[in-house]
Amino acid sequence: MTARLDYSKQSPALFKKFLDFSMAMHDSVIEAPIRTLVEIRASQMNGCAFCLDMHVKQAKIQGERELRVHHVAIWRESPLFSPRERAALAWTEALTRIPEHGVPDELYENVRKEFSEKEISDLTFEIMAINGWNRANAAFRNVPGAMDKAYGLDKAGLA
């Protein structure tokens, strides 16, 4: 598989602004392990091979347990996730594929039990960011692993 086009070169100003937006997530109140789980789950749902590859490697570098990474796809059935992580994953799924009648109140209330209003807001922006990257990378078929060295993902040892 080869990439269709390099959107960072075709639209450099927009790419830079979106990258800056995404990098701002590192300053969010949401802890890095939850951000990574969110990125993995949204990328799975969107079929974005480039992003899924990237975030699995980031999870390994960050010290995430391998079995938990494998279980992200089955998080509802897995005993490996905390209530806070489950709420984040449920919120991710709802915002990645918004239900026909919007996000249910019951889901929102469940998320409110685990996250403050500021945290829900930051989590929502995280989900917005990864969904944007998923759409661009899936549309232009960016090749998984193609940027490993540039992004330091070769340190994961998963080539």
What per-residue confidence (pLDDT) applies to 2?
87
Among residues 37, 46, 104, 101, which one has the least CA distance to residue 70?
37
pLDDT of residue 87: 98
Residue 94: pLDDT band (50, 70, 90) is very high
d(C-alpha 18, C-alpha 124), whole Å: 15
Split at pLDDT 50, 70, 90, the class of 101 is very high
Handedness of CA 71, 72, 78, 82 (dihedral sign): positive
Interaxial angle between packed helices 83-96 and 32-46, expressed in degrees from 0 to 180 and rounded to the nearest 10: 40
Q: Which of 50, 14, 49, 21 is nearest to 126 (CA)?
A: 21
Per-residue pLDDT, 61:
96
Query: What does the alpha-carbon distance between residue 108 and residue 120 come to, in Å, rounded to a whole number?
Result: 9
Confidence of residue 159 (pLDDT cuts 50, 70, 90): confident
pTM: 0.95
The yes or no reply on domain 31-154 and CATH 3.40.50.720 is no
pLDDT at position 1 is 75
